[in-house]
Structure 1
Amino acid sequence: MTSVKASEENLVLVAGATGGVGQIVVAKLLEKEFKVRVLTRNPTKAANMFNNKVEVVVGDIRELSTLSSATQDVTHIICCTGTTAFPSARWEFDPQPNLIEWGMIFSDSAYRDKKAKNTPTKVDAQGVSNLVAAAPHNLQRFVFVSSCGILRKNQLPFNILNAFGVLDAKQKGEEAIINSGLPYTIIRPGRLIDGPYTSYDLNTLLRAKTGGKLGVVLGTGDTIAGDASRIDVAAACVECILYPSTEGQIFELVNKGARPPAIEWEKLFSQIVS
């Protein structure tokens, strides 16, 4: 399996860069000397977080009209956006719902999407579709962080996780990517652990280590389950773009078994490449 090195021609757009996985993705890209552009609604936060070592573009994946400048001339897109699976403050209710409205939000999906700005439907389905639509036709890779359980939504615990449609929305995002004709890699992590990091310090992110002692297990066909370190998920997002053979692949990632001194991504990918 032949790897590809970063070059001056590579420009990677990271959507969701200030989130738990996205922060580490950016740090790992910089460590490998990729040029990085981050898409954000809060440019000051992003600039401070990454010590002004990235290009910051203001935009919102929920609004297609804001994405043209963000995707211009990029060679790769890594999308690690997302919101909570269950209604929370991150769904951006305006104004804060009262008790009666909370009841409607929990029982009526149409009302829920009308009331909240940041639901899974708007982020993981429509938002990802918008990012796909805005991607340049010569994109080298679109990497998407999805979720385990996409194909097991009728089974525990995924039917509970999908109570408010997060897996349905992730699946629609996956379908938009697959049907676009763009080269892609989809990563379906288990339940995310480790972080998110709130220090907003690039040096801290570069030194980030998984809090557990478990190895990385990759699977296909949505057959595995378990916890997944955000650090390892971020590493997989970056490492997969270095290997042409991971194009067109969908794989799950969880942490299990003894952790070796170093994760051999080339070996792990070679086990899942068909």
Structure 2
Amino acid sequence: MISNSDKILVAGATGGVGQLVVAKLLAKDLSIQALTRNRSKAESMFEGRVEIVEGDIRYPNTLLEATNGINYIICCTGTTAFPSLRWDFASLFQPANSPEAVDGEGVKNLLAAAPQDLKRFVFVSSCGVLRKDELPYNILNAFGVLDAKLMGEKAIIASGLPYTIIRPGRLIDGPYTSYDLNTLLRAKTDGKKAVKIKLGDDLNGEASRVDVANVCVESLFYDTTVNKAFSIANEGERPALTNWSQLFTTM
């Protein structure tokens, strides 16, 4: 069981899901180390409440300090599914920040740097990774984002480390880029829809970034999520209180 003495590394901590994961971990008084490419951005966002380490999963030599003494890793890194300025085109055919570089090779680099006694590696993947040749996922995968996510998943499973793979539907709500930690801590699911979780890759629809962050954090408290890959979406009427134990037991 995770405890306050455990240290959690959040990769992609300033991204749309990552910043919410950090906020949820803070709300539980857990010890956090934020891995970021941009220290000043992270310092502004998290107001000195988390330990910040500068690194980039695309470059293995930047990860050794970040993973030293870490007990849990939550990997929320990613880039756009289609070519954009975020791809950072080093050359026409080898963008430096492509899905393959981040979600494929980058995840492999993070795994290689992870301590051998790591208690859990949580990875935010995507619905459709096992259906990437079917509509509408073949369109989403036109530039290889699902291929890259699946590459990362396979590397995680092959690593022998305990893992939890989360496959959200189309992300909604946020990202909350106000750089206001109080805003992050108050973030709610705009759609007010219930969380649905299912083993495998069978769900469709939308998934709130807030609830994806919730699942990343809550899964650390349940052994039923160890070495499991499951999809998440929001649908139906939301109960007053989400019963995570029941969701993780019956998925």
Q: So what's the TM-score if we normalise by structure 1?
A: 0.90
Unmatched 5+ residue regions in structure 1? Answer: 96-104, 106-110
Letter in 2 for 1:33: D
1:108 — aligned with what? Answer: none
1:78 — aligned with what? Answer: 74
2:195 matches 1:216: yes
SS of the residue aligned with 1:126? Answer: helix
SS of the residue aligned with 1:241? Answer: helix
SS of the residue aligned with 1:83? Answer: coil
- Check conservation: 1:82, 1:124, Cα contact below 8 A: yes
Of the candidates 198, 218, 233, which is equivalent to residue 254 of structure 1?
233
SS of the residue aligned with 2:221? Answer: coil
Structure 1 distance, partners of 2:246, 2:79, is 32
2:115 — aligned with what? Answer: 136
2:122 matches 1:125: no
Deviations 1:142-182 (A, max 9, x none): 00000000110111110000000000000000011000000
Letter in 2 for 1:69: E
Structure 2 distance, partners of 1:5, 1:13, is 13
Shift of 1:270: 0.5
Cα distance change, pair 5–39 in 1 and its aligned pair in 2 (3 A): closer
2:9 matches 1:13: yes
Structure 2 distance, partners of 1:74, 1:185, is 16
Large movers: runs of 4+ above 4 Å? none
Corresponding pairs, count:
251
Q: Where does 1:86-235 land on structure 2 (aligned, <5 Å)?
A: 86-94=82-90, 111=93, 114=94, 116-235=95-214
Structure 2 distance, partners of 1:221, 1:17, is 26
Structure 2 distance, partners of 1:188, 1:176, is 16
2:58 — aligned with what? Answer: 62
SS of the residue aligned with 1:164? Answer: coil
Shift of 1:221: 2.3
Shift of 1:41: 1.1
Which is higher, the Rg of structure 1 or of structure 2?
1
SS of the residue aligned with 2:250? Answer: helix
- Check conservation: 2:59, 2:106, Cα contact below 8 A: yes
- Check conservation: 1:68, 1:134, Cα contact below 8 A: yes
Identity of aligned residues (%): 61
Shift of 1:44: 0.9
Structure 2 distance, partners of 1:94, 1:81, is 19
2:5 matches 1:26: no
Query: How large is the RMSD of aligned CA atoms in angstroms?
Result: 1.0
Shift of 1:245: 2.0
SS of the residue aligned with 1:62? Answer: coil
2:22 matches 1:43: no
Structure 1 distance, partners of 2:104, 2:14, is 20
